[in-house]
């Protein structure tokens, strides 16, 4: 059952433009499943996930002046999946999930009194000098 729910979540991450809908699916369906809770194991924070969280939150807040309070992952190793909570000093709270095999996931971040943001995250580093073989955008009308 957990495997099927995570595969559906993976498809939603890839195909669904409604980020809030994808996060609500994770919270309301996958995360609420007792088997999902039983199979998760606490693990130390993953440095790749931390870097992705810091970059995304910094972009949303438009500042680098914050402390990310993130001290553990809940990992489902056989599914290459992690999820967890994080706090941002005096700013707000967040939730994330992450697929290690494809190095992608999603965060939901809320600042009290403001809106809730959802964003895809990735831990794939950009190569020096940008992406190879990337051509400039052609502005020629069709």
Question: What are the pLDDT digits (tens) for 38-57?
Answer: 889 999 989 999 999 999 99
Examine residue 130 and state whether it is found in any structural domain, yes or no. Answer: no
CB 73 within 8 A of CB 100: no
Which of the residues in the chain have pLDDT under 50? 142
| Within-domain flag for 89 | yes
For the whole model, what pTM was predicted?
A: 0.83
Within 8 A by CB and 6+ apart from 138, the residues are none
Q: What's the mean per-residue pLDDT of the chain?
A: 87
Residue 47 in any domain: the answer is yes
Neighbours of 110 (CB within 10 A): 16
Our count of domains for the chain comes to 1
């Amino acid at each position: 059952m957990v495997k099927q729910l995570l595969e559906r979540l993976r498809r939603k991450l890839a195909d669904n433009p409604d980020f809030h809908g994808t996060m609500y699916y994770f919270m309301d369906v996958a995360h609420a499943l007792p088997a999902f809770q039983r199979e998760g194991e606490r693990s130390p924070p993953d440095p790749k996930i931390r870097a992705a969280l810091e970059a995304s939150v910094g972009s949303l807040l438009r500042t680098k002046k914050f402390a990310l309070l993130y001290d553990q992952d809940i990992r489902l190793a056989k599914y290459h999946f992690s999820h967890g909570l994080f706090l941002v000093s005096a700013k707000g709270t967040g939730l994330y999930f992450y697929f290690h095999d494809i190095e992608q996931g999603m965060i939901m971040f809320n600042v009290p009194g403001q809106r809730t943001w959802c964003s895809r995250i990735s831990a794939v580093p950009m190569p020096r000098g940008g992406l190879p073989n990337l051509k400039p955008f052609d502005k020629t009308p069709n």
